[in-house]
Amino acid sequence: MDTTILGQVGPQFGADGATPAARMGRSAELVVQELHGRFYEQAFRNNLYSVACQPVTALASTTVLLTASAQPIVGVWNPLSSPVNLSILQIMVQDMINTVTTPALPGAFVIAASTGNGLLTAGLAPFNRKTLASTGSQAKAFTLSTASLLTGLTNNLVVQEVLDVPIAHVLASTIAAINSPIPGTVGVTNLDGDLIVPPGGVLAVLNTSSTTAHSVLARILWEEVLI
């Protein structure tokens, strides 16, 4: 049985809830395209948020803890009463050596998670990617640059996976040279929604070895999706 698809040639301008015809090209082809930028729709619908560790923050030994005393490089908590899932889209970490002596390595940069948490008392208001204000998000955020701890964490974090972030390192003879550049690296992990923080969930980016010889910048970008 044949099915006929009826459409309209050229762009249309419909309001939410309207039922316009499918868009057709001038050769009667069905037009399918990614409209606007990759995350435009989520941002325009006021569902896109982020948290960033501001430049430049030296790593501290507390970042390797998995308890309520943990100090994430960046992290998010979705309260138990939240009506949304946090769909993680992207995580970025930049690592820089901040000393002219032989620097200790920070280990690996990892994602750690915990569920069933309803009592966290600290946290920041995330950045709204539509309004440019720190309002509107259901989540609370944590950053090393603001020294925000996971106070009230019910269940300890568990390391789940390693981020694809190269570690900055250099030979001692090079870093001690006069006017030698301070090396740095950056890694971006595009999760594109394949990692969800449900209500009660905590997600944190940590390093696995204690050091203050490295400084970091970092970001988590997510979409808030009604459950």
- DSSP alpha helices (H): ranges in 79-224? 172-175
Name the helix (H) or strand (E) containing 42: helix 40-44
DSSP E strand boundaries for the chain: 7-9, 22-24, 48-58, 74-77, 84-97, 109-114, 127-128, 140-143, 158-162, 184-197, 202-207, 214-226
With beta carbons less than 8 A apart as the criterion, state whether 84 and 222 touch. no
Query: Checking DSSP bridges between strand 7-9 and strand 22-24, what pairing results, if any?
Result: parallel
Dist. CA 49–CA 39, nearest whole Å: 11
Q: Provide the pLDDT for residue 179.
A: 53
Mean pLDDT of each 10-residue bin along the chain, 227 residues long: 78 82 82 80 94 80 86 95 97 87 82 96 95 97 90 96 85 54 84 96 94 90 96
Q: Provide the pLDDT for residue 18.
A: 84
Tell me the torsion sign for CA atoms 224, 187, 160, 169. negative
The identity of residue 40, as a single letter, is Y
Q: Provide the pLDDT for residue 122.
A: 87
Q: Provide the pLDDT for residue 181.
A: 58
Q: Provide the pLDDT for residue 38.
A: 87
Q: Provide the pLDDT for residue 172.
A: 54
pTM, rounded to two decimals:
0.84
Dist. CA 206–CA 185, nearest whole Å: 16
